[in-house]
Copies of this chain bind each other. A is one copy, B any other.
Amino acid sequence: MHISTERALKDCVVLDSGVVKQVENAFAELEHGNATVPPILMVPVPEQHGEVDVKTAYIPGLDFFAIKVASGFFNNQELGLPSASGLVLLMSTKTGFPVAVLLDNGYLTQVRTGAAGAVAARYLAPRTTATVGIVGSGTQARFQLRALSLVRNLEQVLVYSPIDEAGVPAYIEEMKSELGVSVARVDDPQELLQRSSVVVSTTPSREPIIRAEWLHPGLHITAMGSDTEEKQELEAQCFARADVCVSDLKTQGFRLGELRAAKAAGVLNENSAVVQLGELVLGKHPGRSSEKQITVCDLTGVGVQDTAIALEAYRRVLERGTITEIAE
């Protein structure tokens, strides 16, 4: 049994084009109908405002598949602890034996979630994406910006952070220094939308932040915050105004994502023209077909991403030799 620590994983795995490629392939496998993605196993722990989710996906032909355990306990902040934690198990597809425990404390989820943002932007962002708007200033606000910088040439970043205003200065400093772009704060979400050609929302908001009337031709929005039934970042009418609506996995989006709220509002239903991300990867749908279109992508996080990132991470830590073997 192999054990890898967060430190060892962070030393090998960053959001780079290799990771994005693996996640993109995983969406292709999902779209081919090859992957088995059981519904998420959810364990609510209401006493701590917490929840533990287990996601998995089996993709035939790969040596392993991942079982990912991800916790979000929002009372942890009072204890001075991060709310997110978790680990990833790698299971042999040949024998069913567990082969590795990746003690990533949620790090690989951050990377693979960023990677899905890069895949979405590759097919949906206008070719010329000079100005990007980021909603939020947390970890995904960072990863989503890194993701965009892999697939578009960015000049200007605007950040609006309704939930964590205090985090904005550090966000600006870090992103400026890391990506060499101009990063500025805006205090009005409407201004953020108007000035940007790509907006990525990364918050756990339970009230829509982005209003449909603010959408303009040539805008792409990726909303990656909603992954439970209570969350919503986009006003439902955003989907009515969009020329192309995309979901990482429609069945899941209609349960847990922005699609759920849009359905509840009567704007979308399961028969609406919602494209899956894998259809873009496979070329079954062209994605953005003109610079003037409005496009919206709802990301909820799919088990195939976890299997993709876990395999890539395991390959890298094995190659680097930074893994611990536990005798059984």
Contacts and interface: CB of A to CB of B under 8 A. Distances in A.
Interface string A27-43: 00000000010110111
A17 interface: no
A3 interface: yes
Interface string A265-297: 000000000000000000000000000000000
A5 interface: yes
Contacts of A83: 96
Nearest to A97: B85
Nearest to A56: B43
A139 interface: no
A136 interface: no
Instruction: Report which residue of A6, A42, A101 has the largest number of chain B beta carbons within 10 angstroms of its beta carbon.
Output: A101
Contact of A105 (B7, B81, B328): B328
A93 B36 contact: no
A117 interface: no
Interface string A69-93: 1011100100101010111010101
Interface stretch (A46-54, A140-148, A184-192, A206-214): A46-54
28 contacts: A5-B326, A36-B43, A36-B44, A38-B41, A38-B42, A41-B54, A43-B65, A43-B67, A44-B58, A45-B96, A47-B60, A48-B96, A50-B96, A54-B54, A54-B56, A69-B98, A71-B97, A76-B95, A76-B96, A81-B97, A85-B95, A85-B97, A85-B98, A101-B101, A103-B326, A103-B328, A105-B328, A324-B326
Given A69-B89, A72-B96, 20 more contacts: A1-B103, A5-B326, A5-B328, A7-B328, A36-B44, A38-B42, A41-B56, A43-B56, A43-B58, A45-B93, A47-B60, A47-B93, A48-B94, A51-B96, A67-B69, A69-B91, A69-B98, A71-B96, A71-B97, A85-B96
